[in-house]
Amino acid sequence: GDSVTQMEGPVTLSEEAFLTINCTYTATGYPSLFWYVQYPGEGLQLLLKATKADDKGSNKGFEATYRKETTSFHLEKGSVQVSDSAVYFCALSEKTGRRALTFGSGTRLQVQP
């Protein structure tokens, strides 16, 4: 079945540091890939998405590129801020079949001033 594997956290960085959160996936077809973010006390919200190979999703300075050859969708940001502290979830959705998001276990990011 489908699965998503994320690097374990917490990831602790200083403000303005470079961020990478690794995500790899297993899927039978050609899924869409997503990053969702959960800020403290809030529900999950979509951060960015990519629906086909080599697509790059971007939002709020975050980027992720859909790499079919390595089945990866790593999240990056060039300069993190304290306000980026949150839990980040990588997810996939097949375009047919079950059509439910499969999530990774989440990576907690803590950014220190």
Answer yes or no whether residue 40 interacts with other proteins by CB under 8 A.
no
* Cβ atoms 64, 33 nearer than 8 A: yes
Please report whether residue 103 would count as binding other proteins according to CB under 8 A: yes
Burial readout 17-34 (b: 16 or more C-beta within 10 A, e: otherwise): eebebbbbbebeeebbbb
Binding positions for other proteins, 56-75, rule CB under 8 A: none
Q: Which residue number, 25 or 93, has a Cβ lying nearer to other proteins?
A: 93
Site residues (CB under 8 A) for other proteins? 31-32, 34, 36, 41-46, 49, 51, 89, 93-95, 98-106
